[in-house]
Amino acid sequence: MIQAVNGQPSGAPSLSLNQFASRFVSEFAEYLKSASTAGPATQAAAKPVEILPDADNAPLAASHTASPAASSTTPSATSSTGSSTTSTDLGDPDIQGWLNTFYSEGPQTAGGSGDPAAAAISYQAAAGAGSNYTSDTIYGPDQVYAQAVANQCGNSFATMTGQDPVNFTSQLPGIPDQQAQDTWDNMLAYENAVRLESGQPIDTSAYWSDPGPRTINGHTYTSQQLGYAGPCQSSGPEPIWISQADQVPGTDTFNVPGYQGTVSGIQPGRYYTLAQLQQAGLPSGQPDTQYYPGSWTQPS
């Protein structure tokens, strides 16, 4: 059975690990302030759009299994035990550079304004730590960054509580083999085709490579429409999920997670861009709390 990390091929809006790590950072900061635990909220399931399958759109079968990801703490094609030689042109992510940006400019950090000092927290797994990535784990390039943030949280928590960080960190994932990459790309392309068909913004997570077009209900979407911006490149900020739980009791307005103010005239159980929510009444000029998936530069 394929275990997808940071993927929602069925259209359900469960938190991607990117979003979970981002939210965990924010809530972990609150934990440090209050010394009380607060787990990330779960989101309600969305009703998937009805899809008439086309020959070029069917998701890969669950028996299509990935090879093991790398267990080393430095993701690279050459050191990954499950890597294919076709992956060598993907390069390596600049994890520290991404963390510097994430905390100095990025959203969902302490107080919502950024905490550059947090970038110095170790993102490496503790010596002897296991891995969250098994032989049937399918994940995208952004997961490298998400695990780095999760490791920072784990190391900080262990330091604060005097516990062993081996229990709160995981080896960073390496670049998976070509079959696993293709499986991820197919799943993400299918998810985004479903979103476009239902009139929703796409998941902007990165692809390993060009997924090609997808056709749903006779409508063909190009790889660019599906969010492909280049190998390992995110196509922009993640859209915002509005659930029924966000409705203001007794009204037809909805709160927007991470923002002040309400919106109206929208349907819950759907994703929206920030611009769409501003058109629906969300006051502009607020700090940007959207999540920006990571990207890394290809070798020249």
Report the chain (300 residues): mean pLDDT per 10 consecutive residues: 40 40 46 33 30 41 32 29 46 89 61 67 95 89 93 94 96 92 97 97 97 96 97 94 97 96 97 97 91 81
| Sign of the alpha-carbon dihedral angle for 228, 229, 234, 238 | negative
pLDDT of residue 287: 84
Q: Where do we find the tokens 């020249």?
A: 300
65: which DSSP letter?
-
Count of beta carbons in the 10 Å neighbourhood of residue 166:
15
Q: Where do we find the tokens 């005239």?
A: 265
pLDDT of residue 299: 72
pLDDT of residue 203: 97
Cα separation, 274 vs 280, whole angstroms: 10
pLDDT of residue 45: 28
Cα separation, 180 vs 175, whole angstroms: 9
End-to-end CA gap in the chain: 37
3-state SS assignment for residue 255: strand
3-state SS assignment for residue 143: helix
